[in-house]
Amino acid sequence: MRNVERDLVGQRSDLTFKHNKSLGRHGWLRLTPAYSVKLVKEIIAGAPVDVSILDPFSGTATTTLTAAEHGNTAVSFDINPFLIWLGNVKCRSYTAAHAQEVRDGVAAAIAKTPALLSQHNWRPPLFNIERWWSSTTLEVLAALRVALVQEFGEPAEERADGLAWVAFCRLVIETSSAAFNHVSMSFSSETAHYEVGHVTDLYSAILDSVLLSCGSPLIGLGEVLEVDARAIPEMGRRFGLVVTSPPYPNRISYIRELRPYMYWMKFLEEAREAGEMDWKAIGGTWGIATSRLTTWGPNGKLLPEVLTDTVGRIAATDTKNAQLLATYVLKYFYDMHLHLSSLPNVLEPGAELHYIVGNSTFFGNVVDTPAILGESMRMLGYEDVESKIIRKRNSNKALFEYDVTARWGG
Ligand SMILES: C[S@@+](CC[C@H](N)C(=O)[O-])C[C@H]1O[C@@H](n2cnc3c(N)ncnc32)[C@H](O)[C@@H]1O
């Protein structure tokens, strides 16, 4: 990419999750690495009207929900049970009668909460939980959770009502000391004390905004399935457009970012499970997902030459973790290669691909994600592979986001 072109690209917050906050269901819960509805809309607008759409890395289901709002049929995949649950709650159609049932159930739960404060209630086994919530706030959240379970069931249960739980997730974050000003979550120095009335008023207000935004029915259909994108099976259906943003090779762990929700919703019950889940995640890096890298090696697959060069440069850096991080980068692209090898199982001939990806740096060595993925695509028989910069990521001059496009000839 010529420097002139790089210098002209701005940070474009309209192309990030920030743009989604005010967009109804898209703004329910925030995941910083989510991409923007605007970007997805632009891509869908350029495709045939009734194209069926796939997002193999669902995250907060931005692609699938945007597609369903636009009238298309879309499916997305993820391996994170919380995100699969959230995506499906976001992509469902709700009636006014249903919204009223949720309102009534929540009113009953709120009425029960003060009486539950005097008993010992379950709390999530989150490490250093007192950094997140003061003891007063935590007591109220735990009591409200018990009351909500009585009305709606546990979130992971089939019968459970997702809307009340999505609102609870928002409440948990809004009453916490977590701040989202960076790529990953940080903490403010103090936790606030929220009394029961304050928490339940805030919960009711959040619920109102959630119910308001699900009032407009979806025209199309969207669904999130539990599928490991590294081994996509034949499914008896095929897609003509792939719009996705896989994890970037930057050591962000989605499980780690989502841990308050995942523990409160009981999608995660102990720390070891988190490392196991992150080992399945491409680019995962939490706990054992990093320690296992020391014994991991690629399984004889032919990989892009540009990847071998990059990994060699990182490994040769005179730094303590050079070899470990070189293996991290190698595994990331190895997993992406597996993904691209199995993707044709669900592609229509001529399917168009858009991969929104970011580059990264390790000890000053740039990892040229679009070039490496592009080479993987060409090796696997994808055609018309191209990439263009769509925005600058942050103040680090070297970091950009790209749209890598290709076509599956079939
Ligand atoms: C960058 S996020 C996607 C963000 C999404 N575009 C959005 O707007 O919210 C990448 C997602 O890929 C998922 N993922 C990681 N490894 C995966 C795998 N092996 N199979 C399926 N999904 C995976 C992660 O759980 C995460 O939700």
Query: Which residue is closest in CA terms to ligand 1's atom 7?
Result: 34
- Residue 71, in any domain of the structure: yes
- Return the ligand 1 atom nearest residue 335 CA: 19
Cβ(223)–Cβ(167) below 8 Å: no
- Chain centre to alpha carbon of residue 167: 18
**Residues 6+ positions from 300 with CB-CB distance below 8 Å:** none
| Whether residue 289 sits in one domain with residue 145 | no
| Whether residue 114 sits in one domain with residue 72 | no
- Return the ligand 1 atom nearest residue 230 CA: 19
**Residues 6+ positions from 276 with CB-CB distance below 8 Å:** 288
Q: Where are the beta strands (DSSP E) in 256-346?
A: none
Cβ(406)–Cβ(370) below 8 Å: no
Question: How far away, in angstroms, is 79 Cα from ligand 1 center?
Answer: 8
| Whether residue 247 sits in one domain with residue 391 | yes
| Whether residue 191 sits in one domain with residue 125 | yes
Helix (H), strand (E) at residue 67: helix 62-70
**Would you write out the chain's pLDDT as a tens digit for each of its 410 residues?**
445 555 556 665 665 566 666 678 999 998 777 788 999 999 999 999 999 999 999 999 999 999 999 999 999 999 999 999 999 999 999 999 999 999 999 999 999 999 999 999 999 999 999 999 999 999 999 999 999 999 999 998 876 679 999 999 999 999 998 876 555 566 777 788 889 999 999 999 999 999 999 887 799 999 999 999 999 999 999 999 999 999 999 998 999 899 999 999 999 998 889 999 999 999 998 888 888 999 998 887 778 899 999 999 999 999 999 999 999 999 999 999 999 999 999 999 999 999 999 999 999 999 999 999 999 999 999 999 999 999 888 767 788 999 999 999 96
d(CA 409, CA 377): 12
- Return the ligand 1 atom nearest residue 33 CA: 1
| Whether residue 176 sits in one domain with residue 60 | no
At residue 112, the pLDDT reads 97
Question: How far away, in angstroms, is 78 Cα from ligand 1 center?
Answer: 6
Question: How far away, in angstroms, is 11 Cα from ligand 1 center?
Answer: 22
- Residue 293, in any domain of the structure: yes
User: For position 305, which CATH number holds?
Assistant: 3.40.50.150
DSSP summary character for residue 248: P
| Whether residue 337 sits in one domain with residue 245 | yes
- Residue 234, in any domain of the structure: no
- Residue 335, in any domain of the structure: yes
- Residue 222, in any domain of the structure: no
| Whether residue 251 sits in one domain with residue 171 | no
| Whether residue 139 sits in one domain with residue 74 | no
| Whether residue 276 sits in one domain with residue 197 | no
| Whether residue 201 sits in one domain with residue 106 | yes
Query: Which residue is closest in CA terms to ligand 1's atom 27?
Result: 59
Q: How many domains would you assign to the chain?
A: 2
At residue 334, the pLDDT reads 96
Question: How far away, in angstroms, is 327 Cα from ligand 1 center?
Answer: 21
At residue 1, the pLDDT reads 45
Q: What is the 3-state secondary structure (H, E, C) of 181-241?
A: CCCCCEECCCCCCCCHHHHHHHHHHHHHHHHHHCCCCCCCEEEEEECCCCCCCCCCCCEEE
- Return the ligand 1 atom nearest residue 245 CA: 6
- Residue 397, in any domain of the structure: yes
- Residue 225, in any domain of the structure: no
- Residue 228, in any domain of the structure: no
Question: Coil, strand, or helix at residue 80?
Answer: coil
pTM, 2 dp: 0.93
At residue 78, the pLDDT reads 98
Helix (H), strand (E) at residue 260: helix 259-264
| Whether residue 387 sits in one domain with residue 251 | yes
Question: Residue 165 is part of which domain span?
Answer: 96-213
Question: How far away, in angstroms, is 80 Cα from ligand 1 center?
Answer: 8
Query: Which residue is closest in CA terms to ligand 1's atom 25?
Result: 80
Question: How far away, in angstroms, is 33 Cα from ligand 1 center?
Answer: 9
d(CA 250, CA 273): 22
- Return the ligand 1 atom nearest residue 229 CA: 20
Question: How far away, in angstroms, is 316 Cα from ligand 1 center?
Answer: 30
Query: Which residue is closest in CA terms to ligand 1's atom 13?
Result: 57
| Whether residue 398 sits in one domain with residue 279 | yes
Q: Which of 35, 43, 78 should be mutated for ligand 1, with most atoms under 8 A from CB?
A: 78
Q: Which residues line ligand 1 (CB under 6 A)?
A: 31, 33-35, 57-60, 62, 77-80, 83, 228-230, 245-247, 254, 280-282
